A = this chain, B = another copy of it.
């Protein structure tokens, strides 16, 4: 069909113009950008039909048109082409990430930082799911006569510490004993396998030792539990302030959501595994109804991948931002695998 093609072109023009200016787009403005040589009246007819299809809407009778959520969806699925980054942009990103690549955590923080700077959105980075992390080593460090610290290091390169206190004086030799005994029994195990029940049986197998310092095993299990939750980094919250779609009521709700990393994490990993872009009501969250989340997965190794995401207004430069996010995800995966592998 021929007319359908022109209508699509018009939809594309409206979406892109609206993304640029933020003002409703009139038929004349569309005419100016369009390749077809048609008059504004023709465009008007087509736009009226696009409105009937639910792809465009007018804020009030007789002002320009604005894309509906469905309009954005069609644009994203059928019309938009990602705009690849040039060498210079790629180099800048790679360079910034390299500087932050000391530990997995700092790499993800840097990635979120870089993304938020470039895109002007709030950026979110989730570590690979902690529940298939394996305990690499557990160390004990004396911090006082009656206090010590357990240091748990996982295969994902994360480190969790926990201070504990004993009734008995803690001697270096006692700690060394524990160190050996615990590592023997726990290293190599999944962090999720350190359940209370497992701790119970370990305590029994340790015999007298565990009786002397009951808090040790508790501290270890708590550290393991913490290691099993996914780490997250959020940067660029300040960008939310500049989004006019966030009246201060909603803005507060969104910020609160960002402060509860757990809830957000679910939402975003879902997005990352799916289409990549979730908009408005697709997010199933009242505060986010006028926002858009773009997610991409990075992969450091088979079975070891996490998600990067951007939270911004519906009205954003998708072609550029999607490629940027994709490139950052690639580089993060690459650097992370360097950090973790043999």
Interface residue ranges, A against B (CB under 8 Å): 102-103, 136-137, 139, 141, 143-147, 149, 151, 153, 155, 157, 159, 161-163, 165, 222, 235-242, 248, 251-252, 255-256, 258-259, 338-342
Q: What B residues does A242 contact at CB under 8 A? A: 248, 252
Main secondary structure of the interface of A (DSSP, over half): mixed
Given A136-B143, A161-B159, check contact A235 B252 (CB 8 Å). Answer: no
- Provide the bound-state CA to CA distance between A259 and B235, in Å: 8
Q: What B residues does A252 contact at CB under 8 A? A: 238-239, 241-242
- Provide the bound-state CA to CA distance between A231 and B295, in Å: 30
Instruction: Give 10 CB contacts A-B under 8 Å.
Output: A102-B162, A103-B161, A103-B162, A143-B153, A143-B340, A147-B340, A236-B259, A238-B252, A240-B255, A242-B248
Once the chains bind, are B147 and A339 in contact (CB under 8 Å)?
A: yes
- Provide the bound-state CA to CA distance between A295 and B259, in Å: 23
Q: What B residues does A339 contact at CB under 8 A? A: 147, 163
Residue of B nearest to A252 (CB): B241
Q: What's the minimum C-beta distance from A62 to chain B, rounded to whole angstroms?
A: 30
- Provide the bound-state CA to CA distance between A338 and B102, in Å: 32
Given A149-B153, A222-B102, check contact A144 B341 (CB 8 Å). Answer: yes
